[in-house]
Amino acid sequence: MTVAAELSQRGRSWLRIRAIARRHAYVLARSPHRLFDVTLWPLVDVVLFGSLAAFVGTTSATGTEKVSGYLLAGIVLWHVIYQSQIAMSTGFLEETWTRNLLNMMVTPVREVEYVAGVAMFGMIKLVMGVGVMVIGALAFFSFHVWSLGFGLIPIAVTLLIVGWAISLFVIGLVLRFGTGAEALAWGVMFVLLPLSGVFYPTAALPTVMQPLALALPTTHAFSALRGLVDHHGLNWSQVTIAGAGSVAMMVLAAWFLVRMLTTFRKRGYITRYT
Amino acid sequence: MPGEPVLDARGLIKDYRRTRAVDGIDVVVGAGERVALLGPNGAGKTTTLLMILGVVQPDQGSISICGIDLARDRSRAAECVGFAAGYLPLTERMRVRECLRLYGQLYGLADPGPRIDEGLERFRISHLADAMGTELSSGQRTLIGIVRSTLHRPRLLVLDEPTASLDPDVALRVRTGLVEIAANEGTALLMTSHDMTDVEHVCERVLFLSAGRIVADGTPASIAAAYGHGNLEGVFLHLADDRSSTASQQSDHP
C-alpha cells in the first residue's frame, strides 16, 4: 500500500484541505495585483460611499449619521458577499487560467475538500478586505461598524453563505461552458447589488423588480441591517428568512455543481484545459 | 503477468458525440509491470488514460485500481496512482519545493520533505529545489513532474508522452529513472509515447491501439515479429497506414 495509509482518512482529508489553502496563500502573496481585491478596492468603496453619505447627509433631513449608517454599513456588509464569492470563484479560476486543473483532478482531493480549502483561505481574504473597510470607515468618517452590535454576526453569516453559493454556481457554469462563463463571477454581483437593496429599502426599486428583490435572501439580510442602523434591534424574522433562503441557495448551488461536474467528466471537458 | 493486477480496466467504451474514442478495451497491468499504450493520433490513448485517472467517465466498463473500484471511491483509488505528462505545467507561483510539498500533502504525506530530496536527487535536479516553476526549461519541468508524481510511491504510475520535446540527454534520464522506480519500488508503469526508443527501453509489454480498439498485445519483440517488422516503429507505421487506407475507403463508399 502507498504511504498515504500512514494517516487516518480524516487526517489525510484535513491535510489536503490545509494544502489547498496554503497553495492559494502563495498565489496571493506572489500576485501583488490580487492584493488590490482585499486592500485597495475595499478602501475605495469606503471612501466613495462615506463621502457620498457625508454630502447627502448635510443636505437631507435624514441626517449624516443615519445616511452614513445606511451607506457605510451597507457597503461593508456587501463586501462580505463580494469577498467570499470572489475568493472562491477566482480560487477555482486560477486552476483554469494556469492550466492546473488536470494536475488537481488526478490527485485524491475530493471536491468538498477542494472547496473547503479554497473557502478556508477565502475567509482570511474576507477578514483582510472587511477589516480594511472597518478601519477605513472609522479613520475617515468616524463610523464604527461594531457600534451596530452583535446583530451584525447573523447577518454577515447569511451573506457569507450567499457569497459561497454564488461562487459554486459560477464554478459549475465554468465547468459546463468553459472559461467564457467566468465573466459571471463579476457580472452576477452587479445584478445582485441593486436588487438586494443594499443601501435602500426595496420599496425604492421600480415596482416590477420588487417581487424579484423580495425572493433574494440578501434583500432580507440588508433589511435587517437597516433595522440595526435605525436602532430598532435585530429583526429576527428578516434574519430567519435570509438564513433559510441562503441555506436553500447553498443546497441548490451544491447540487448544481455536482451535476455540472458529472457532465464535465462524462463529456471529457478536461481537454479544454490541457 | 507478475503479481495481482494493480490496474484492472474491463470493457471500456467512450463516445464523444458521434465518435467512438474507445471501443470496448481491457487494460490489465500487474504489479511492477511496465506497459506501453501505443497508437496513432486519435487512437484513444489519452482518453483511456484519462478514464483510468478518473477525470473522464467511461460510458461503459469498469476500472479497479489496487482492488478499489474507481467509480465508487475515486479519492482512495487515486492515492495508489501517480500521473505525469509532458504537456502538464507546474503549478504556478510556487517554488519547486513548495509545489512538491503541496502535491505530497495532497497524496497524504504529512512530511514530504525527505521524499522530495530523494526524488530530486534521483533525477539529479536538487539544485532546482528553490527555483520558481516559470524559471525552468521544459525538460526540467518534465523531470519535476515525474518527481511530483512519484513522491507517494504509487503502485501505478501513468505517463502521457513523458519525453515529448525533450533533448536526448534528458530523455535518457527520464527513461533510466522510470526503470529504476519500477525496479526499486515495484511501481507498475502505464505510458503512452510516440517515441519507440522510449518504449523499447522502458516497457516489457505493449498494447497497440487503433481506432479505439486493442489490435496487438505482447512484448515489443513479439509484436514486431508478428507484423513482420524489425522494430516497433515499423509496426506503428504499418497500423497508421492501415487506418488511413480504411478511412479513405470509407470516404469513397459512404
Residue A57 CB contacts under 8 Å (≥ 6 apart), including other chains: A63, A64, A65, A66, A67, A68
Whether residue A169 contacts residue A253, with contact meaning beta carbons closer than 8 Å, is answered with yes
Q: In this complex, which of B59, B106, B154 lies closest to A109 when CB atoms are compared?
A: B106
Supply the Cα-derived Rg of chain B in whole angstroms: 18
Instruction: Quick: pLDDT tens for A155-196.
Output: 999 999 999 999 999 999 999 999 888 887 778 889 999 999
Neighbours of A165 (CB within 10 A): 27
- CB contact B41 to A (< 8 Å): no
Per residue in B199-238, pLDDT (tens digit) is 989 999 999 999 999 999 999 999 989 888 888 888 888 8
Instruction: Please report the pLDDT score of residue B4 as a whole number.
Output: 77
CA separation, residue B190 to residues A98, A190, B29, B112, B151 (Å):
26, 49, 8, 24, 17
Residue of B12, B60, B105, B118 best to disrupt the A interface, most CBs of A under 10 A = B105
In this predicted structure, the answer to whether residue B2 has a pLDDT above a threshold of 60 is: no
Q: What is the mean pLDDT of residues B129-137?
A: 91
Q: Which of A6, A100, A105 sits opposite B55 (nearest CB)?
A: A105
Mean pLDDT over B174-196 rounds to 92
State the ipTM, two decimals: 0.90
Range of the domain at A145: 3-273
Say yes or no for a CB contact (<8 Å) between A6 and B110. yes
Q: Report d(CA B36, CA B231) in Å as an integer.
A: 14
Buried b (16+ CB within 10 A) or exposed e, B218-252: eebeebbeebeeeebbebbeebeeebeeeeeeeee
Q: How many other β-carbons are positioned within 10 Å of the β-carbon of residue B17? A: 7
Which residue, chain included where needed, has cell 502563495?
A26
CATH number corresponding to B5-252: 3.40.50.300
pTM: 0.91
Which residues have CB under 8 Å from B231's CB, separation 6+? B196, B200, B220, B224
Half-sphere exposure (Cβ direction) of B105: Cα atoms closer than 13 Å? 23
Residues 6+ apart with CB under 8 A from B178: B34, B146, B157, B159, B162, B189, B191, B202
Instruction: State the total domains in chain A.
Output: 1
- Residue B64 in contact with residue B70, Cβ under 8 Å? yes
Task: Using a CB–CB cutoff of 8 Å, tell me whether A272 touches chain B.
Answer: no
Rounded to a whole number, what is the distance in angstroms from the first to the last CA of chain A?
30
- Give the closest-approach CA distance of B120 to chain A in angstroms: 18
Domain ranges of chain B: 5-252
Confidence of residue B244 (pLDDT cuts 50, 70, 90): low
Do residues A118 and A193 lie in contact, with contact meaning Cβ atoms separated by under 8 Å? no
Q: What pLDDT is stored for residue A1 in this prediction?
A: 45
The residue whose grid cell reads 475567509 is A123
